[in-house]
């Protein structure tokens, strides 16, 4: 199953994040210090944590300001206070043991402050309610079985209807759902009276069957919840405090484990993961370091030699695996000679982690940089925690690669993408180097504008606190700075959403063989129509070919009329959306080139229904309609929804006039920048 959304409530700085979407691969949480990013990851881990992770503790984890009034006063029951809730979409393997009607449900799980859990479903057969019709059916059936059982029942024995009265004693017509203990009690009564139902009375027999069916839905829900609950992936949390130290005294460590003296969990966690990765316990390695065997006993000597060979092979295998992964990030250039080799060695009672350089010199791990030590520790913990039942784990990485150089972080970003192809990954970061310019749709902004409202997580790229968006601005700025003067052909766009629409749609057309945007054209978002002239002027001054694409709204018109822009580019290199827009829109923006598609996906994917208004007002810009009809409309959310749509669709899924308009636009861009 795949995690698709999450919500955290009532946990430390978090009152309620609200529901936020989780990507199939990696999801990036950005935000300033003290926004609550770590709290969100820590809460998520409790959905299904590895062994040894403590559960929620009301004293430590409930928002401190509310503890006295809610918990200490016993006004609220911790077992009824939700902390973390998630939703999972089912994959093919999850459906095998599910009852009919549950094959396409969304499975939901909530963990409460008391560490109890509750399962629910979206899209499952609805629960039955104790309606007036059900009440009358039960009364008629009870009267029938009372009559049928009268001849064989002692006068002092209560009739079956008395047992039914006890079952439904506190049921409220119209609101009580037939679920859990209520469903079981009713099913038990129906089973008990089944022998008294007259088979020749078809109506009564059908009534009994129908009432049994009402209880089956509850049983099916329990069956589905049990089957899916067993398949919930492990949530593995990793932060910067988990380190693998270069030297470990095996016998001392084994005795501390045996005597339960691992009081510094963070310090020892790296050692425990390293041993788990190697496939040995500390005691096994310690005993091998102490063993002495006489060569006069061939059998004992052979056993000892075999154990040493096994240790050597496993240490070597772990060393090779770690070296390969670390080189892929530390020295990602395939043309560079890879010299550094990581070695895990057993020397008597010492387990050593050393690095061999290109001269063959072995130095201990703690003599390398903080960034290199962090990287080694990360892979040791991940490989150990991702073994066995963690193979499909969800990774929660808190500020990964914080001590890595910026360029190493860019390489590590690709490593996270590789990990996320098999393990959904959620990570927090302040670094612009860990947010790719093409990954902004994967970003969730975490902010806390004040302590009373607590931490909020935004699925769209918006925030009230500018500091929350700083990593995104820096990521775009860095990418722009790197690419601004490297391409001979540059198309300046008004903003980021224009970039998304053009890049994604051009790829659809290329894949379909309908049109091919020149791959040498760099797309440069300028943040607003008014800034297009500055980007165009700077690029043109560096003797680069430049064109601009402007909407045909007021802002685009004002930019297009600027003398500096016209003088710099000339009219033929100022492209306007009105030149290619199909239909009757009078002042089209780039969204109007995808008018029908955006209206359709906004309704289906975002719940924004403007179909009737858009159809009745064909000359009105589509964004203008969205702004007036949808209270929480965001151009970023609409563009991100389109990006997700293009991943699962092809060019022929666009309307014919849309394909024609975009093919025309691509042709004009190629011509302007030929």
Average pLDDT, integer, range 639-651: 93
Average pLDDT, integer, range 344-358: 82
Average pLDDT, integer, range 616-631: 94
Contact 207, 137 (CB under 8 A): yes
Residue with token string 């980007």? 535
Query: Given pLDDT bands bounded at 50, 70 and 90, which one contains residue 61?
Result: very high
What residues contact residue 306 under an 8 Å CB cut-off, 6+ apart?
Answer: none
Residue 156 in tokens: 């002092």
Query: Does the pLDDT at position 558 exceed 80?
Result: yes
Which of 429-438, 461-470, 490-499: highest mean pLDDT? 490-499
Q: What number does CATH give the domain 1-80+392-478?
A: 3.40.50.300
* Rounded (10°) angle between helices 265-278 and 250-258: 110
**Cross-strand bridge partners of residue 110:** 85, 118
Average pLDDT, integer, range 626-650: 92
The Cα–Cα gap between 331 and 571 comes to 47
Q: Helices (DSSP H) in 562-655: which residue ranges?
A: 563-569, 595-601, 611-616, 622-629, 635-647
Higher pLDDT, 648 or 440: 648
Query: Given pLDDT bands bounded at 50, 70 and 90, which one contains residue 510?
Result: very high
Report the range of poorest mean pLDDT among 136-145, 264-273, 641-650, 652-661.
Answer: 264-273
Q: What is the pLDDT of residue 347?
A: 79
What residues contact residue 489 under an 8 Å CB cut-off, 6+ apart?
Answer: 518, 520, 521, 522, 544, 545, 673
Q: What is the pLDDT of residue 396?
A: 92
Residue 80 in tokens: 């009824």
Query: Does the pLDDT at position 612 exceed 70?
Result: yes
Q: What is the pLDDT of residue 206?
A: 93
**pTM exceeds 0.95 for this model:** no
Q: What is the pLDDT of residue 385?
A: 67
Percent of the chain exceeding pLDDT 70 equals 91
Count of CB atoms situated within 10 Å of the CB of 656: 10
The Cα–Cα gap between 536 and 441 comes to 26
Average pLDDT, integer, range 14-40: 92
Query: Given pLDDT bands bounded at 50, 70 and 90, which one contains residue 329?
Result: low
DSSP helix/strand/coil, 610? coil
Average pLDDT, the chain: 85
Residue 271 in tokens: 């050692």
Which of 41-50, 369-378, 385-394: highest mean pLDDT? 41-50
Which one-letter DSSP state was computed for residue 120?
Answer: E
Q: What is the pLDDT of residue 240?
A: 59
* Domain extents in the chain: 1-80+392-478, 132-229, 242-388, 484-672
Q: What is the pLDDT of residue 262?
A: 66
Average pLDDT, integer, range 39-46: 96
What residues contact residue 595 under an 8 Å CB cut-off, 6+ apart?
Answer: 583, 585, 614, 622, 658
Q: The dihedral of CA 325, 331, 336, 339: what is its sign?
A: negative
Query: Does the pLDDT at position 470 exceed 80?
Result: no
Query: Given pLDDT bands bounded at 50, 70 and 90, which one contains residue 548?
Result: very high
Average pLDDT, integer, range 339-343: 79
Query: Given pLDDT bands bounded at 50, 70 and 90, which one contains residue 420?
Result: confident
Q: What is the pLDDT of residue 190?
A: 94
Which one-letter DSSP state was computed for residue 405?
Answer: -
Rounded (10°) CA dihedral 437, 627, 8, 42: 10
Q: What is the pLDDT of residue 466?
A: 56
Query: Does the pLDDT at position 554 exceed 90?
Result: no
R_g (Cα) of the chain, nearest Å: 32
What residues contact residue 417 under an 8 Å CB cut-off, 6+ apart?
Answer: 25, 26
Average pLDDT, integer, range 186-208: 93
Higher pLDDT, 588 or 339: 588
Query: Does the pLDDT at position 486 exceed 80?
Result: no
Average pLDDT, integer, range 542-553: 89
Q: What is the pLDDT of residue 383?
A: 73
Query: Does the pLDDT at position 480 exceed 70?
Result: no
pLDDT in tens, 239-292: 755 677 777 888 888 888 888 776 555 567 777 888 887 778 888 888 776 666
Q: What is the pLDDT of residue 295?
A: 63
Higher pLDDT, 107 or 289: 107
Percent of the chain exceeding pLDDT 90 equals 46
Q: Is residue 115 exposed (0-12), middle (13-18) or buried (19+ Cβ within 10 Å)?
A: middle
Report the range of poorest mean pLDDT among 18-32, 125-139, 292-306, 656-670.
Answer: 292-306
């Amino acid at each position: 199953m795949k995690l698709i959304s999450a919500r955290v409530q009532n946990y430390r700085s978090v009152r309620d994040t609200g529901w936020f979407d989780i990507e199939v691969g990696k999801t990036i949480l950005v935000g300033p210090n003290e926004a609550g990013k770590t709290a969100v990851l820590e809460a998520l881990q409790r959905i299904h944590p590895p062994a040894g992770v403590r559960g929620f503790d009301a004293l430590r984890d409930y928002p401190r300001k509310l503890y006295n009034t809610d918990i200490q006063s016993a006004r609220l029951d911790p077992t009824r206070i939700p902390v973390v809730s998630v939703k999972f979409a089912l994959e093919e393997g999850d459906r095998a043991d599910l009852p009919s009607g549950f094959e396409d449900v969304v499975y939901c799980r909530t963990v409460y402050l008391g560490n109890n859990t509750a399962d629910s479903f979206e899209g499952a057969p609805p629960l039955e309610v104790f309606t007036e019709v059900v009440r009358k059916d039960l009364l008629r059936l009870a009267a029938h079985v009372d009559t049928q059982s009268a001849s064989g029942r002692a006068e002092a024995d209560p009739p079956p209807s008395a047992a039914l009265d006890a079952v439904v004693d506190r049921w409220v017509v119209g609101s009580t759902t037939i679920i859990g203990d209520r469903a079981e009690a009713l099913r038990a009564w129906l089973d008990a009276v089944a022998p008294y139902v007259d088979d020749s009375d078809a109506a009564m027999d059908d009534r009994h069957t129908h009432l049994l069916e009402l209880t089956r839905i509850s049983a099916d829900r329990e069956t589905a919840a049990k089957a899916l609950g067993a398949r919930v992936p492990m949530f593995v949390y990793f932060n910067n405090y988990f380190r693998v130290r270069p030297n470990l005294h095996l016998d001392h460590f084994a005795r501390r484990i045996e005597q339960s003296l691992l009081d510094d969990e963070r310090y020892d966690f790296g050692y425990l993961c390293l041993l788990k990765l190697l496939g040995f316990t500390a005691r096994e390695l310690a005993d091998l370091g102490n063993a002495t065997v006489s060569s006069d006993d061939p059998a004992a000597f052979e056993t000892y030699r075999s154990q040493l060979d096994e240790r050597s092979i496993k240490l070597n295998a772990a060393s090779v695996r770690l070296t390969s992964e670390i080189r892929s990030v530390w020295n990602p250039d395939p043309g560079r000679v890879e010299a550094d080799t990581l070695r895990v060695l057993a020397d008597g009672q010492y387990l050593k982690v050393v690095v061999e350089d290109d001269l063959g010199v072995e130095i201990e791990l703690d003599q390398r940089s903080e960034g290199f030590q962090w990287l080694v520790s990360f892979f040791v913990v991940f490989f150990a925690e991702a073994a066995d039942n963690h193979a499909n784990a969800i990774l929660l990485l808190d500020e990964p690669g914080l001590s890595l150089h910026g360029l190493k972080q860019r390489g590590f970003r690709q490593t996270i993408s590789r990990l996320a192809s098999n393990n959904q990954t959620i990570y927090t970061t302040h670094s612009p180097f860990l947010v790719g310019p093409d990954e902004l749709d994967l970003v969730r902004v975490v902010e806390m504008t004040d302590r009373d409202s607590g931490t909020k997580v935004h699925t769209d790229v918006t925030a009230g606190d500018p500091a929350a968006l700083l990593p995104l601005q820096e990521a775009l700025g860095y990418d722009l700075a790197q690419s601004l003067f490297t391409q001979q052909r540059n198309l300046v766009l008004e903003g980021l959403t224009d970039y998304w629409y053009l890049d994604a749609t051009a790829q659809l057309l290329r894949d379909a063989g309908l049109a091919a945007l020149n791959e040498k054209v760099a797309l440069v978002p300028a943040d607003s129509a008014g800034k297009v002239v500055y980007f165009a002027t700077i690029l043109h001054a560096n003797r680069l070919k430049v064109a601009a694409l402007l909407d045909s709204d007021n802002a685009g018109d004002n930019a297009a009329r600027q003398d500096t822009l016209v003088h710099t580019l000339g009219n033929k290199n100022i492209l306007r959306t009105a030149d290619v827009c199909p239909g009757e829109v009078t002042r089209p923006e780039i969204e109007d080139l995808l008018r029908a598609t955006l209206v359709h996906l906004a309704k289906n994917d975002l719940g924004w229904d403007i179909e009737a208004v858009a159809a009745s007002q064909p000359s009105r810009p589509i964004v203008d309609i969205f702004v007036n009809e949808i209270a929480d409309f965001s151009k970023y959310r609409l563009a991100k929804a389109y990006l997700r749509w293009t991943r699962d669709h092809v060019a022929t899924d666009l309307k014919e006039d849309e394909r024609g308009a975009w093919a025309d636009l691509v042709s004009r861009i190629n011509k302007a920048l030929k």
